[in-house]
Structure 1
Amino acid sequence: MRTTKASTLSLKFRLAAGAALLSAGTILTALTLYLGLNEVAQRLDAAVASETRVARYASLSTQAATFLVVASEAVQTGLTPEIRRDRIAPVADQLRRTFTQLHRDVEQAVFAARALGIDAQSRYGTQSLGLARMEALLGSTLNGLEDDTNDTNRLRTHIDTFASGLDPLLSQAVNTELLFRNNIMSGIGDLRLQLTRIALAIVAGTVLAVAAFYFGLIRPQFNRLDRLRRAATQIGQGKFDVALPVSRLDEIGQLSAETNRMAAALITRRDDVQAQWDRLNDTIAERTEALRSANDALEEIDDKRRRFFADISHELRTPLTVILMEAQIGKTGSPDPAAAFATIEARAARLNRRIDDLLRLARSDTGQLALDPDRVTLGELTEDVAAEVQAEVDNAGMTLTIDAMPDVAVYCDRNWIRQVLVSLMRNSIRHARAGRMLHVSSVLEKTCAGVSVTDNGGGIPAQDQAHVFDRFSQGSSATANEGFGVGLALAHWVITEQNGSITLTSPVPVDQALGDAPGTKIAVCLPRANT
């Protein structure tokens, strides 16, 4: 037991002695470096300050040249004393500010040189005399230029006096600063040589101390430390079944015992962490699924908003087109102005309803189009459509026939469905005008009813029919580029939003065709209203 205790104390003592020796060397090195670097820093600060003053003198030289140019121009152009003073004032103010900065820099240099003795402070102080002379020269020149006289020779004399007097003073100041800087840099070189010699001596002493510390104490403990390292590597790999031998109760022996206890604790902790990790994965999966669902909902809302703003432009354009057409007819002399104004009033009212829909959409959070469904008969719908498009049909030289509608009511937004049917008929007028015929008939099914619009046009190519209800779809026909391609997309949206359906057939079956052309038939079917 005594041997173990002696060994323990011996290891501590030697470690402490070695650490103290290395610490002393480190402190000595740090102190030397601190003092040396502090001295170097002071000299570098002085050199940088000198460079700054040289730069300010260079700036002063540039400003003085500018002053001479401005003053000469003011004198040569014969400006009045008031204008001359205003012209020179900004440059003079800039020179005064530069003089103020240089005075402040010289004062700082004198203060920083207090550790170098009175001689160094005096050398820096002489710079203030030169600055005072240059300022006095500037003041004298400004006083002369501010005289209420236009005597060019007299004013020119003041400018020449300033130019000839400033140049030697400025050159002397710059040369003095350069001399200060060169002396400072020379001193830094000498100080570097001294610091190098001291550093080499400290390095030699440190190497000897480290060698004694290593071979006398550290190396004998390497075998025990290697076992600890292998145990730590094993623990780092997740293998916690570690059992280090504890033969001595010194510091390394105590560390081995603590490592054994740590490995046992890690085994317990690993099991707890694994259980928590499993619970965390389950939570992450739940949160990820919730976030994905929220993102899908946001994308759907954003898509609805974009779709509405794309389609509503077509819906607002159509009433405006009719209003403009009726206004032009009335302007050229309509035989029935009351009817024209009635049409304009009706279209303006419908346009106002559409704008109200747009405002409601802007205030909503879902991007849904506002609908107002109610009970309406097929006859009422076809009468509204016929009254709205008859003039356009006649102007196009076409014939519109409408079958007698059965007494069947559907549940829908009357305004929107009327607009859908009008849009379908206008598409036929625009694309199938050469066929000269339009036909509207009823569509009756078990749970829904509606109307169909058939034309005698060239039909829709098979490759375009799959995309005809897409927004901005133009197709490949000769008239495909007429219009914006949103009418059928809007119609499809409005119909499906009301649980209805819209179908396209082209070419039209022979028994339903209006002529020899392929033709197109579009059928709209809406839910029947409960009686």
Structure 2
Amino acid sequence: MLTAGTVLTAMTLFLGMGRVADGLGTALAAEARMAQYSILSTRVSTFLVIATEAVQSGLPADTRAERVAPVVENIHATFAQLEADLGRAVAAAEDAGLDQQSRFGTQSLGLARMRALLDSTVRGLAAPGQDRDGLRAHLDSFASNFDPLLNQAVNTEVLLRREALERVENLRGTLSLLAIVMAALALVVVLAFYFGLIRPQFRRLDRLRQAARQIRHEDFAIALHDTRRDEIGLLYAETERMAQALARRQEAVQAEWARLSETVDRRTEELRAANARLERADETRRRLFADISHELRTPLTVILMEAEIGRAAFPEGRDAFATIETRATRLNRRIDDLLRVARSDTGELRLDPRPVFLPDLFAEVIEEVGAECDNAGLTLTAQDPPHQRVSVDPNWLRQIVSGLVRNAIRHARAGGAIHLAARTDADRIEIAVLDNGGGIPPDRQAAIFDRFTQGSENSQGFGIGLALAKWVIEAQGGQIAVQSPLTRDEALGDAPGTKVSLRLPCEPD
């Protein structure tokens, strides 16, 4: 109904506006022709003035014809334009009825009479041998006959314009009344549509919204009870089925949650008991390391004291006692290494960074592992390191470099050579351990930093794993990297060889 009313209103407005446009077009056309008649009147007056002057001047016939010819030509142009306008008006008035067409036909007839009257007067003025009085008689006859015809034509156009405007005004009143009636009918239809259909559906949708709120609050006891089979009724049925499914799912989830809570409680107790056992085991391990440290340090202290006393008391045995003292000191360091690694396993590793002079570091490493290289038949060489300091934990750095040399002793003994090198690069120092062994396959290089993968029970001293070395170096702002095979410029021989590099920040001057 709303669509039909809208279409009817649109068609009425379309047709009405078309009629209004036709009326306004008729009025404007009449107004345009009235303007043309005004132009015609002006040009005819000009013709009379020129013709009268030519007659009064006694000009010959051909001269008179030449004098009035331009004005007559303009008058004929105006006649042609008026005839064309009237022809279009007659064609447009075919739907308006015979009476309207006859009016325009009468206008055309009057226009033809005016043209004939003008042509007759022009021929009279151009006829030779006429006296002045005869010529005046022609002009007087033209003036007296042309003016009524022109007034009649103008009055007809005024009447046509007035009738057209009256039709437009009447049509405007009719359209206004029709618009009021249609607006009233539309309001009645909308109200009936709202109260008869929309409002009841809104109430049904309100019930559905309330049901959705219940579902949001996990209240699935929904009873809509609507048996209508329209879209909202089908949505009611689907909502009830959804609520029932959610209720069943909630029961299953609650049951599963109860079982999960029971499992979590049981696992929590098991974890708590396991943590207690781990704490006891960790405490036992710490106590074991402390006891080992105490039991080892006590005889070492006695050995060191006796070595000092022997060196002072027996000058001839000074070298032997010095060797005993050096070995005891080195064993004491091994105990420190053992305790540091033990603390690192428990997350209690503490670093003590301070400036380390590279030449001193190289001297300590060579002193510590030189004998091991000699025993293994390896040649240990060292580049003169730059006189530079790095800020690291000295004990850990010594252990890491010594451990890298021991790794080379174990895995690259066949090469027969190990080399220590160091160089400065911008604000970093690179310490490298190079060997002449068989190298590391590319597919295994990514795994060598796994925790203690390179450890060996047969190595001399305790040593540290590459994974721990990586952690210690990176914790102090450095990097550790491996390269295998070596370039020809760096290689110690024909074998592929391996290079492990430590990059550490320089100590500011």
Bigger CA radius of gyration: 2
TM range (shorter): 0.3 to 0.5
Could you tell me the TM-score, scaled by structure 2's length? Answer: 0.38
Could you tell me the TM-score, scaled by structure 1's length? Answer: 0.36
